Structure 1
Amino acid sequence: MITFDQNAFLIISTASLIAISCGLLGVFMMLRKMSMTGDAISHAVLPGIVIGYFISGSQRGVEVIVGAGLLGILATLIIDFLRKKAKVQLDASIGITFTLLFAIGIILINLLAYKVDLDQECVLYGEIAYLPIDLWITDSGFSMGPRIIWLALLNLLLVGSFIFLLFKELKLTSFDEGFGMVMGIPAGAINLALMSMVSYTTVSSFDAVGAILVVALLVVPPATAFLWTKDIKSLIKLTIGIGIGISVLGYYLAFWADSSIAGMMVTVGGAVFLISAVLTSKKFKFRLGTQSNQEAFNS
């Protein structure tokens, strides 16, 4: 029988693994000013999920992951096309793309409603509280533990390897895409690879924690860390620490308040960001004031 402490460990561990994966990708998304692309992907993959579910008959089928991943990449290509070729502003490109694909997904659900037991809520919104009972059972009947934690571990391994192998290329193209192309780096391919990883991470994670928390973990920890440091390695380390802190504090506050775990984690993340914004702004003003006093003294 799983006890509260075991439940807490499983949920916090899984949320932390997802927070690290999302945070690592979110750093480079933020530097490219594309943080909300994750939100677009989380909605745009709905047609792929519906088609994959229709083919496999299961929400956990490989077809669902493949379909959602392909739609995520398609959404990325459409956003990139609208931004670069059609000269549409980035925020408008994101808004147009995810609303269009999400609407197509809803239409497909309505058209296939008599063939599949699927609705918008069940494919978009996970609940991390159910993680301890969502077990991976082998064909021989052996339990491998919660299914989602294995997906989170695999995702972290893939994301970590991706960042490690392409760190220099990601850094150069994130800060100055033109300079990266001059250096011979295929910026378009790097961007597509990054978006593909974001797509996979989003799809593999929101079944466990929900689309809202995935988007928050992509955006909030990197944005908070950026308030404190501009060095990219320190930014990555601080992002990871903030993501884990949000997971731990959010879980225990949710348990204490008897409320949504994912919702509380997002709330904690927002509170941490606002507190950091206030503290860093006061720190900046203090430095300016000290500098002005020193200049006045010297004169």
Structure 2
Amino acid sequence: MTYTMWIILTASLVGLSCGLIGVYLILKKQAMMADAISHTVLLGIVSAYLVTQQMTGTAMLVGGILAGLLTAFLVQSLNNLKVQHDASLGIVFTTLFAIGVILISTSVGNVHLDVQHALMGEITFVPFATIDIPLIGAVPKATALLGLVLIVVIFFIIAFYKEWKITSFDPALAASIGIPVVFFHYLFMTLVSITTVASFDAVGAILVVAMLITPAAAAYLWTDKLVVMLFLSGGFGVLSAITGYWVATWLDTSISGSMAFATGCIFFISFIFSPKHGLISKWVRPAGVSEEQGI
């Protein structure tokens, strides 16, 4: 596979994984939790490096997951103490991210990890760090990890489809019929953290946030069916990755930035043209209703 195709495949895996997870973030009205976790995992990654002195491996994943769970726990704890949810997010995410930035500046030293890398990623370097997989051959480490994460995400979505659906739409009903809502909340936050950490090094925090929120928000405008929304969101994520890469090549600019821009373009198109919630349909519908009523 060519250098270009590895980059597109890696970004597409990010778009697909984040698109699927993002659907539930939108339905749970926790979209900004994605922003919080995508930044606070920096603290987990830096902490893992300080312990292991390695920038790759299981330690990075574990550190990021723990940081994501810590973020969810602190936000929930502050919310239980009557702090508004949006204020809780702002307090926790800025504090933990700031600690991560301070640790990078004071403790990490000459390691390939800085704030710019954390925000925008280094997807252009992804094809150079490879591992050998039996029957497949040399595969970029980031691509292999993201492929594994996608399998995990799809497995949990299928295995707990009914539970995710009920807890997303009506947590009170889920609790009343015996579904452990708290358990599924933290399991979901673990999936968000895993997806974010796996995507973090390749594409950076900005694109992770864009892929987690925007494709799902666009899909929400097109359908009211969960299954369809999952497919649309994942598809929009992949389309954003492909389109964004070619835009970046055309303009000779940031790949991650262009992909994030592409997600915004897809949402804008959906916002205008979606048949039920789009601006055009809202302008046309009242006239049609009036004609039917003979007004």
The superposition leaves residues 187-206 of structure 1 with CA deviations (integer Å, 9 ceiling, x where unpaired) of 11101100110011101101
The superposition leaves residues 42-83 of structure 1 with CA deviations (integer Å, 9 ceiling, x where unpaired) of 211222212211122121132222112111110011111122
CA displacement at 1:273 relative to structure 2:
0.9
Residue 152 of structure 1 pairs with residue 141 of structure 2: no
Aligned residue for 2:93? 98
Aligned residue for 1:130? 125
Write the mapping of 1:207-226 to structure 2, written as runs, cut at 5 A.
207-226=201-220
The superposition leaves residues 83-135 of structure 1 with CA deviations (integer Å, 9 ceiling, x where unpaired) of 2x112222111111111111222333344256967533344541212222222
**What is the identity, as a one-letter code, of the residue corresponding to 2:10?**
T
Aligned residue for 1:206? 200
8 Å CA contact 1:135, 1:143 repeated in 2: no
TM-score normalized by the length of structure 2: 0.92
- Cα distance in 1 for partners of 2:270, 2:95 equals 36
TM-score normalized by the length of structure 1: 0.91
8 Å CA contact 2:18, 2:211 repeated in 1: yes
Counterpart secondary structure, 1:155 = helix
- Cα distance in 2 for partners of 1:265, 1:173 equals 31
The superposition leaves residues 224-272 of structure 1 with CA deviations (integer Å, 9 ceiling, x where unpaired) of 0111111111111111221111111111121122111111111111111
Residue 296 of structure 1 pairs with residue 294 of structure 2: yes
8 Å CA contact 2:119, 2:206 repeated in 1: no
8 Å CA contact 1:49, 1:123 repeated in 2: no
Gaps in structure 1 of 5+ consecutive residues: none
Q: 1:126 to 1:18 in 2, by over 3 A?
A: same
**What is the identity, as a one-letter code, of the residue corresponding to 1:269?**
T
Q: 1:124 to 1:61 in 2, by over 3 A?
A: farther
Aligned residue for 2:41? 45
Aligned residue for 2:280? 282
Residue 177 of structure 1 pairs with residue 175 of structure 2: no
Aligned residue for 2:18? 22
CA displacement at 1:16 relative to structure 2:
1.2
**What is the identity, as a one-letter code, of the residue corresponding to 1:284?**
K
CA displacement at 1:137 relative to structure 2:
6.0
Residue 75 (structure 2) aligned to one of 71, 75, 79: 79
8 Å CA contact 2:118, 2:204 repeated in 1: no
- Cα distance in 2 for partners of 1:12, 1:189 equals 35
The superposition leaves residues 150-177 of structure 1 with CA deviations (integer Å, 9 ceiling, x where unpaired) of 0110010110001111110110010010
Residue 109 (structure 1) aligned to one of 84, 104, 112: 104
8 Å CA contact 1:254, 1:264 repeated in 2: yes
**What is the identity, as a one-letter code, of the residue corresponding to 1:285?**
W
How many residues align? The count is 289
8 Å CA contact 2:131, 2:139 repeated in 1: yes
Q: 1:200 to 1:263 in 2, by over 3 A?
A: same
Residue identity over aligned pairs, in percent, reads 41
Residue 162 (structure 2) aligned to one of 161, 168, 188: 168
- Cα distance in 2 for partners of 1:61, 1:151 equals 10
Q: 1:264 to 1:125 in 2, by over 3 A?
A: closer
- Cα distance in 2 for partners of 1:175, 1:106 equals 36
Residue 32 of structure 1 pairs with residue 28 of structure 2: yes
Aligned residue for 1:88? 83
8 Å CA contact 1:52, 1:61 repeated in 2: no
